[in-house]
Chain A
Amino acid sequence: MKMLPDHSLWGRTEAAGLARSRFVADAAGRLDLQGFAKGAGAATTLRGQSVMISADRQLPAVQALLALDGVARRVLLCPPDLRPDDVEAVMAEANVDAVVGDGTGPAARAGMPMQPIPAGPQPGRTNATEWLLFTSGTTGRPKLVVHSLASLAGPLQEGPAATDLVWSTFYDVRRYGGLQILLRALLGGGSLVLSQSGEKMGEFLHRAGQAGVTHLLGTPSHWRLVLMSGAADQVTPQYVRLSGEVADQVILDKLAAAFPQVAIVHAFASTEAGVGFEVKDGLAGFPVSYVGAAGMAAEIRIVDGSLRLRSSRTGSRYLGDRGTLADADGFVDTGDVVERVGDRYLFAGRREGIVNVGGQKVHPEEVEAVMARHPAVQVARVFARSSPVTGAIVAAEVVMRSDAPAFATVRDELLDLCRSALPPHKVPASIRQVDSIAIAPSGKVTRPRA
């Protein structure tokens, strides 16, 4: 009988070579890939099922992915910060049949029964498993974007396996940006050092340095923290990459000074559009020549000032009845506004006023809705305020009702209200009182570019 090629995550990891030295590690544990290969036990009952992966640490989730891609019908990568209240609705939307994990994570907090993670690869990895990823910035319950290993691995350049590369990232591998690094490490024949929640930057860099990290990736905000940690000398990467937020010239210059002779690359990517392009010349923005150019891995269009991307790396759709992902021509509107300055396009904020706080996106409407619950507030507007630490933070202004008490009292109550209803990065850093807020003919608060 002719064997079908094994295109699963484990099959491709194995095909890249299982050198004894290959590993995936976090601060608490280490998965030796050669050891995992020998861990095959009884076949799991998860074949053909829709499986949610729940764990606080990243390493158990990586092991579950290695075991289940090609076996499960669907894997839902659950980030650790999914609210327990949302777990049931997310499971229903993804038709989850079973939860797999280490007894921790959002599903555990929501009281869901859980099966253990298989200790090794499963036989018969022939399913085209759907990978469900959460978008990073939606109001209310997060949307799920449907990917496949093929679309996720699309941005990876084919090439000979390089077993001596050790990748690391500050991102969580259960989100798009981090998952890219996991796939580069596994499919490219290398190893991976995972970050760990609660670990101090200096400790992480020390651990990464000890593990011989060669490729280190994060958002501009992560990199600002590296430079502020005083521990940047703990690592000697060959390759430094920024994505997930706009890389400004300040951070690019500072990294070039801190890591001389190192390739410093910034990239544009989103969960929906996938990796769009890379910029390697050390300058902010991207060359005008990228737009409409042939031979680019993703086609770029600028429509009404915002960036659109089309490639085989885009997600296929949102799960459920949650809007369309691409336009009629297959381009995904990223919502990022660009402005042409000479031969360069520079990022000029988000069309919908979305605030990117260190890589975490905040929709102003969500914060405005919370503020509007306060009886003294007539109308509130939420917008981005630039920050040298996180790129941007959330700021707000309010128009008070005429019979409202003193603003200082209302401001404190509004902050308390926001802190009780929103995660910390969505709470306004400052609230000002204003006399009026412009309302568009549509009845919505007008949003100048953030």
Chain B
Amino acid sequence: MSVRSAILQQMTDTAAQQKKTLAPLTDGLKLAESGMDSLCLALIVAALDDNLGLDPFGSNPPFPVTVGDFITLYENVA
């Protein structure tokens, strides 16, 4: 599974777990308008660290604004 599809799957799974309605996930979608709250994002970041062994935030990058930014962060460290 590519990093991209793993991230999209994780977002879908976590949002469902947290009973959040997710907007259709496109690269241009702003995270703040996706339906995910900060706890959702924190859970997704933790799960990606556990499942993919990726933690792009360690290097202190700019905070991602869109779903595409978020995926790119991970693709850059994969």
Q: Which residues of A contact B (CB under 8 A)?
A: 200-202, 221, 224-225, 227-231, 250, 254, 357-358, 385, 387-390, 393, 395, 419, 424-425, 429-430
Which 5 A-B residue pairings sit nearest by Cβ, starting from the closest? A388-B57, A230-B65, A229-B32, A389-B42, A390-B42
Indicate whether A393 sits within 8 Å of B46 (C-beta atoms), given known contacts A230-B32, A357-B39, A358-B39: yes
B18 within 8 Å of A by Cβ? yes
Contacts of B47 in A (CB 8 A): 429-430
User: Are A228 and B43 in touch, CB under 8 angstroms?
Assistant: no
The interface size bin for chain B is: 20 to 34
Say whether A225 contacts B39, CB under 8 Å: no
**Are A390's CB and B38's CB within 8 A?**
yes
Contacts of B62 in A (CB 8 A): 254
B38, B46, B50, B66: the one within 8 Å of A224 (CB): B38
Roughly how many angstroms separate A229 CA and B17 CA in the complex, as a whole number? 23
- Which residues of the partner chain A approach B39 to less than 8 Å between Cβ atoms? 357-358, 390, 393, 424-425
Q: Is the CB of A430 within 8 A of B63?
A: no
**Residues A250 and B60 in contact, CB atoms below 8 Å apart:** yes
Judging by beta carbons under 8 Å apart, are B32 and A430 in contact?
A: no
Chain A residues within an 8 Å CB radius of B65: 228-230
> In the bound complex, what is the Cα–Cα distance between A389 and B40 (angstroms)?
9
Question: Is B46 a contact of A385 with CB atoms below 8 Å?
Answer: yes
Contacting pair A254 B32 (CB below 8 A): no
Q: Of A230, A231, A254, A387, which one neighbours B42 at CB under 8 angstroms?
A: A387
Cβ–Cβ contact A231 & B43, under 8 A: no
Interface residues of B in 29-62 (CB under 8 A from A): 30-33, 38-39, 41-43, 45-47, 50, 57, 60, 62
The contact of B43 among A224, A225, A227, A393, by CB within 8 Å, is A393
Can you show 16 pairs from A to B with CB atoms below 8 A apart? A200-B33, A202-B33, A225-B32, A227-B63, A228-B63, A229-B30, A229-B32, A254-B62, A357-B39, A357-B42, A358-B42, A387-B42, A388-B57, A389-B41, A393-B42, A430-B46
Tell me the B60-74 residues at the A interface (CB within 8 Å). 60, 62-66
What residues on B are CB-neighbors of A357 within 8 Å? 39, 42
- Are B63 and A254 in contact, with the CB atoms below 8 A? yes
Q: Chain B residues near A250 (CB, 8 Å)?
A: 60
Q: How far is the CA of A224 from the CA of B45 in the complex (A)?
A: 14
With A250-B60, A388-B57, A430-B50 in contact, is A228–B42 under 8 Å at CB? Answer: no
Q: Are A225 and B38 in contact (CB under 8 A)?
A: yes
Point out the residues of chain B lying under 8 angstroms from A424, CB to CB: 18, 39
| Residues of chain A contacted by B43 (CB below 8 angstroms) | 393, 429
Minimum CB distance partner of A254 in chain B: B63
Please give me the residue from chain A that is nearest to B18 by CB atom: A424
A419 to B39 CA separation, bound complex (whole angstroms): 14
**Contact indicator A429/B18 (Cβ below 8 Å):** no
Q: Quote the shortest CB–CB distance from A262 to chain B (angstroms).
A: 18
Please report the C-alpha to C-alpha distance between residue A200 and residue B38 in the assembled complex, in whole angstroms.
Answer: 11
Cβ-neighbour of B45 out of A231, A358, A388 (below 8 A): A388
Q: Name 20 extra pairs, CB < 8 A, besides A358-B38, A393-B43, A430-B47.
A: A201-B32, A202-B33, A225-B32, A229-B31, A230-B32, A230-B65, A250-B60, A254-B62, A254-B63, A357-B39, A358-B39, A387-B42, A389-B38, A390-B38, A393-B42, A419-B17, A424-B18, A429-B43, A429-B46, A430-B50
Q: Assuming the A-B contacts A221-B38, A358-B38, are A228 and B45 also in contact, with contact meaning beta carbons closer than 8 angstroms in the complex?
A: no
Q: Say how far A259's CB is from chain B's closest CB, in angstroms.
A: 14
Give the CA-CA distance A430 to B64 in the complex, in Å. 23
Which of chain A's residues has its CB closest to B66's CB? A230
Measured in the bound complex, the distance between the Cα atoms of B65 and A231 in whole Å is 9
Smallest Cβ distance from B35 to chain A, in angstroms?
Answer: 9
